[in-house]
Each structure stands twice: as structure tokens, then as C-alpha cells.
């Protein structure tokens, strides 16, 4: 207002303020219009804000949020330093909006090899600010008011608000656990889709399904049979698939990762989402990408050019060099994509042992760096809160971090509000941690076990 007022009026307004202490232009002119856009309604809660804060305040060992506490590989850091301080000063300037040419070229080559098809780097790949922005672009580009998007529970929590923000309606379908026979430990493979239930969620309103394999939080790697079921339904109902594959290199016990885009009829209707954060253990770099046919990616480019427009050039250059190295070492023992899962599988097994010892029943993950454990036998440890609809696992995770110093995330956080009490006997740990961190977690669990067993 003041900027618009001419010099005389401004003088008058300022004078009025100083003589009466009252100003007709500052602070008092409250807006009566609603401030918040309608599309933000009901999506204000974010579990991470609360649990990250709790971990920061109370934890001595944080196995909550999903990021490695070990360093990113040297070859990647060195590539970043070279990009930063090398002779090519243009790496400090904007690059191509839809992806730095060296990065889209190597991604096209790499995914072309994985999918067995020729990819055009300029049209079939787009670089984003982490996988998060890739997902945002997908929902904004494809989802209209009235469209439904199928989300498989438990799910990475941002899918639901992103669908809603785009005006769509999330439709949830759960993975249903089936206890293994012969007293064996449960595996993430024991959590399965019910085929009839899944089929019942598809309708004329369904625009897309979100698939996350390997899945955060369970670590489930969907089998070929399950993916074929999803693919057949997508083709039958003319539905898109947003395939979040950020943990694509973190698969254990020699299990095969089947890419849904490689199944019959799926390339044309799938967007693959990837992340250098997960691939190269550098979550802070926030380099992500989408891979898919131009007929889909052309719409993502519109969202990208009208929002973020461009991602940090130096980081893209370094990730391009990382992929160059990995292409040369593909499948060899020195490859990071071979070494990282080997190390993480060992860490997974240590955590399984530690949890077993204290009586938390681990669900062995086939992939990712997460492990979900059953805490149903700890109900007597945690004070009951009568009339609270807070799920038991959430109360347990808060109690554990405050009383034992160990941070984890309740599984109920990966369900929609209406289903948050359906599977609330579980917590999720992240095992992408230094040996010392996992040892410290083990010490806490062993001490806890002694306290429980001593009279």
C-alpha cells in the first residue's frame, strides 16, 4: 500500500502513525479473505515433523528417519569436487531445464540397458529435485478433480497429500500379512495384495496406481506374479502406473527386482521414479529423475518448467559421473550397486538378531534399508491412554525414544487416517547406519532385555 501512495500521502500516513501511535496501513488491516488455498485443507499434518523433533530431543540412537549416517562413496564426492572446482565454470550456471545433458544421456543409457529398449535422453528422461519432486510432477500432471489414484498400504506418506493437492481422491488397498508356517520368521513377502480386493478398487474413475517396489516401509519387493496382476488391471482399465523405484539397488538374498515398465503393455503407461539420494547414499543432494515415454513425460515437463524449472547443475554433473562409473562396472564386484546391498544385507541381519533378542519380531525385508518389527509383546511396558485414538505403535515409539533413547517410526504413519489403527503393532527401523550406530542400538536392546528378565 505504502509503495503505491505518492510522496505526500506517505508523509501524511507516517505523521499520523507517529502522533497517535495508530496506523491505518500497518498491521491493523486484517484480511478477511481465507488465506489458505482450499487444496491445502486436511493435508497439514506431517508425521516427520513430530518424530524428527522427538528424535532430536531424546534419542541417543536414531534409527528413525531414512538416511544413511555413513559417507557417500568417494568416487561420487570426488566427482562433485571436480565439478565444483574444475575448469568448466559453466557448471556453476543454469543447465538444461529438464536435465543436465550428461546426466540425461547416461540415465537413458543405463535405464535403456535395464529395460532393454532405446531411450531418447531428451524426451524419455527428466531430472527433478529428488524423487519427491518427480512424484509431485506426476500427480500434478496427470490427476484431475474427480480422478482416483490407488495407493497400496503401507505407503510412503507423501503420496496421499500429493494426490489430494492435485484434486484427486486416494483409494487405498492394503497389503495383508499372512503368518508364515512352521514358526519361521515373517518376511516382507508374507505381506501380499488380495487379488480380488485389488481388482475391486479399479473403476472408470481410476487414473493411476502408485507402486513402490522395493516398498518403504516394509521392504517388500513385489513378485513378478503380483506385478503382472497390477499390470493386467492397469491395461484393462486404462490406468497409469507411477512406479517409485528409489530403492531399486537395495535388494537382498539374490532376489530379482522386476520392473513393471518391462511387462507387456506397461511401458506406455508407466513413469519410473528414481533417486540419487538412495542410489548413491547422498539424500541431501536431492537429485532425482523420471524415466518414461515422451507421451507421459511431456506433461511432467510442463509442471517442472512452471515450478522448479531447474535443478542444481554441479550435483547433476557429479551424479552423471557416478552413473558413468557404474555403467562401466555393471554387475562387477567393485560396482557400488553390488557392494552397497551386500553391506546393507549384513546390517539388516545384525538388526534382525538384536531385535529378536529383545522379543521384537522382525519382518525380514527383501529390499530397502528399512525393517519393520512387531512390538505386540511390549504392551505392558507402555502406559495406556484411555480414550485416546492414538495408535499403540505411535505411543510405543514415543515412549521408546523418551525412555530408551532409541528412535523408530510407527508403522501406522504409513496408513491413511481412517486405517491408522488397522496395523498398529509395528515400528520401522532404518539400518543404513554405521556399524557403531547399530552396535549402540544393540546395547540399548540388550540392556532392555536384561531389565525385562531380571526380577
Binding mask 213-242 for ligand PMP (x = CB under 6 A): ---x--------------------------
Q: Which residues contact 54 (CB under 8 A, 6 or more apart)?
A: 398, 401, 402, 407
Q: Minimal CA–CA distance to 370: which of 427, 424, 431?
A: 431
Nearer to ligand PMP, 198 or 242 (CB): 242
| CB 288, min distance to ligand PMP, A | 4
CB of 441 to ligand PMP, least distance (A): 20
Instruction: Determine contact, residues 369/430, Cβ cutoff 8 Å.
Output: yes
Closest separation in Å from C-beta 64 to ligand PMP: 12
Cβ 7 to ligand PMP, closest distance in Å? 49
By CB under 6 A, is residue 246 in contact with ligand PMP? yes
- Least Cβ distance, residue 19 to ligand PMP (angstroms): 54
Closest to ligand PMP by CB, 150 or 358: 150
Residue nearer to ligand PMP on the CB measure, 99 or 288: 288
Closest separation in Å from C-beta 22 to ligand PMP: 49
Subset of 124-183 contacting ligand PMP (CB under 6 A): 130-132, 156
Q: Which of 247, 195, 273, 271 is closest to 365 using CA atoms?
A: 247
Residue 277 in the binding site for ligand PMP (CB under 6 A) = yes
Omega within 30 of 0 (cis) for the link into 214 = yes
Q: Which stretch binds ligand PMP (CB under 6 A): 79-87, 275-283, 332-340, 349-357?
A: 275-283
Whole-number Å distance between alpha carbons of 74 and 72: 7
Return the residue nearest ligand PMP (CB atom): 130
Q: Please list, in sequence order, all residues whose beta carbon lies within 8 angstroms of the beta carbon of residue 327, skipping any fewer than 6 positions away.
A: 106, 109, 110, 113
The enclosing H or E element of 134 equals helix 130-142
CA angle 340, 342, 345 (to 5 degrees): 105
Which CB sits closer to ligand PMP, 7 or 284? Answer: 284
Pick the piece of the chain touching ligand PMP (CB under 6 A) from 234-242, 262-270, 281-289, 374-382: 281-289
The nearer residue to ligand PMP, 213 or 324, going by C-beta atoms, is: 213
Interhelix angle 313-328/74-85, nearest 10 degrees = 140
Give least dist CB 323 to ligand PMP, A: 15
| Cα 92 from chain centre | 29
Instruction: Pick the piece of the chain touching ligand PMP (CB under 6 A) from 19-27, 258-266, 282-290, 395-403.
Output: 282-290
- Phi, psi values for residue 55, rounded to 5°: -65, -40
Cell of 454: 531380571
Q: Which residues have a Cβ under 8 Å from the Cβ of 191 and sit 6 or more positions away?
A: 175, 176, 177, 178, 218, 220, 363
Verify binding: residue 66, ligand PMP, rule CB under 6 A.
Answer: yes
Spatial CA neighbour of 150 closest among 38, 215, 234: 234
212: contact with ligand PMP by CB under 6 A: yes
> Which residue in the block uniquely carries the three cell numbers 488455498?
37
- Stretch in the footprint of ligand PMP (CB under 6 A) among 183-191, 252-260, 283-291, 293-301: 283-291
Which of residues 71 and 265 has its CB atom nearest to ligand PMP in the complex? 71
Bridge partners, 428 (sequence order): 372, 409
In the complex, minimum distance from the CB of residue 219 to ligand PMP, in angstroms, rounded to a whole number: 11
Residues that bind ligand PMP (CB under 6 A): 66, 130-132, 156, 212, 216, 244, 246, 275, 277, 283, 286, 288
Amino acid at each position: 500500500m505504502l509503495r503505491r501512495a505518492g510522496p505526500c500521502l506517505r508523509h501524511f500516513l507516517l505523521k499520523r502513525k507517529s502522533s497517535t501511535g495508530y496506523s491505518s496501513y500497518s498491521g491493523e488491516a486484517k484480511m478477511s479473505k481465507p488465506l489458505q488455498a482450499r487444496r491445502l485443507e486436511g493435508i497439514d499434518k506431517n508425521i516427520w515433523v513430530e518424530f524428527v523433533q522427538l528424535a532430536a530431543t531424546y534419542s541417543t540412537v536414531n534409527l528413525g528417519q531414512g538416511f544413511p549416517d555413513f559417507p557417500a562413496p568417494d568416487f561420487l564426492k570426488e566427482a562433485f569436487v571436480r565439478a565444483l572446482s574444475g575448469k568448466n565454470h559453466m557448471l556453476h550456471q543454469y543447465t538444461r531445464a529438464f536435465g543436465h545433458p550428461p546426466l540425461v544421456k547416461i540415465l537413458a543409457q543405463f535405464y535403456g540397458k535395464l529395460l532393454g529398449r532405446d531411450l531418447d535422453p531428451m524426451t524419455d528422461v527428466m531430472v527433478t529435485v529428488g524423487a519427491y519432486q518427480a512424484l509431485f510432477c506426476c500427480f500434478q500432471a496427470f490427476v484431475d478433480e474427480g480422478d482416483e489414484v490407488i495407493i497400496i498400504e503401507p505407503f510412503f506418506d507423501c503420496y496421499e497429500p500429493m494426490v489430494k493437492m492435485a484434486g484427486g481422491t486416494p483409494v487405498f488397498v492394503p497389503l495383508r500379512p499372512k503368518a508364515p508356517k512352521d514358526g519361521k520368521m515373517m518376511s516382507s513377502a508374507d505381506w501380499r495384495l488380495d487379488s480380488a480386493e485389488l481388482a475391486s478398487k479399479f473403476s472408470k474413475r481410476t487414473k493411476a496406481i502408485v507402486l513402490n517396489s522395493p516398498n518403504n516401509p516394509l521392504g517388500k519387493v513385489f513378485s513378478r506374479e503380483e506385478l503382472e496382476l497390477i499390470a493386467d488391471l492397469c491395461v484393462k482399465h486404462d490406468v497409469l502406473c507411477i512406479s517409485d523405484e528409489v530403492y531399486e539397488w537395495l535388494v537382498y538374498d539374490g532376489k530379482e527386482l522386476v520392473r513393471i515398465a518391462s511387462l507387456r503393455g506397461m511401458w506406455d503407461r508407466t513413469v519410473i521414479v528414481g533417486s540419487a539420494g538412495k542410489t548413491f547414499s547422498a539424500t541431501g543432494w536431492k537429485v532425482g529423475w523420471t524415466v518414461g515415454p515422451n507421451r507421459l513425460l511431456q506433461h511432467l515437463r510442463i509442471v517442472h518448467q512452471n515450478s522448479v524449472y531447474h535443478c542444481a547443475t554441479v550435483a547433476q554433473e557429479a551424479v552423471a559421473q557416478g552413473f558413468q562409473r557404474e555403467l562401466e562396472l555393471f554387475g562387477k564386484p567393485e560396482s557400488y550397486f553390488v557392494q552397497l546391498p551386500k553391506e546393507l544385507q549384513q546390517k539388516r541381519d545384525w538388526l534382525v538378531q538384536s531385535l529378536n533378542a529383545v522379543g521384537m519380531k522382525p519382518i525380514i525385508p527383501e529390499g530397502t534399508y528399512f525393517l519393520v518389527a512387531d512390538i505386540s509383546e511390549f504392551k505392558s511396558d507402555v502406559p495406556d491412554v484411555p480414550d485416546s485414538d492414538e495408535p499403540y505403535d505411535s505411543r510405543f515409539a514415543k515412549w521408546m525414544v523418551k525412555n530408551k533413547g532409541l528412535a523408530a517410526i510407527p508403522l501406522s504413519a504409513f496408513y491413511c487416517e481412517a486405517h491408522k489403527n488397522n496395523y498398529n503393532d509395528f515400528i520401522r527401523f532404518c539400518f543404513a547406519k554405521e556399524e557403531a550406530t547399530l552396535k549402540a542400538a544393540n546395547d540399548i536392546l540388550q540392556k532392555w532385555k536384561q531389565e525385562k528378565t531380571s526380577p
